[in-house]
Structure 1
């Protein structure tokens, strides 16, 4: 049985600055130590997901404590689902980090 939310779906929401679980826009709750990154969190009281953003309303990067939310649990997927999940994640990574042009 496929997971309710795939890692690729969660990563897409995170790239849009939304909570990877609930899909709500993450709100600023502080600044990272260097002062250049915003700490953002899901606005739901029952959700503790936090990430960093380089700018407001942009792509977010999960804090290490929450990185498991975008990892694939391949033990629960069929071979076809594993392949589809890897393809979706690879496409998302290519979109996030395009090759530099000459």
Structure 2
């Protein structure tokens, strides 16, 4: 699909507006659950009726990667502490870290 400059600018503007609105909404969220609900709602709103599939795995990967990254930062890359914090087996944690190129 080739876009003209006008169409490209329109898409960029719409994305920027949606991102700003999403960030404003998320900053008002009181809990992590609220933040996730707002982010998913904003994502679905940008679809504009388009069909998508595998949303579940997309959301998991979008949430799991930063979760692992931040927990590893918090534990100063101590995999044993991180796996305990996350309630994961250390081997499972290593597998996930490799999956997201964090190891």
* TM-score of the pair, normalised by structure 2: 0.29
Higher helix share: 2
- Which structure is higher in RCO with an 8 Å CA cutoff and minimum separation 6? 1
Q: Which entry has the higher C-alpha Rg, 1 or 2?
A: 2
Higher strand share: 1
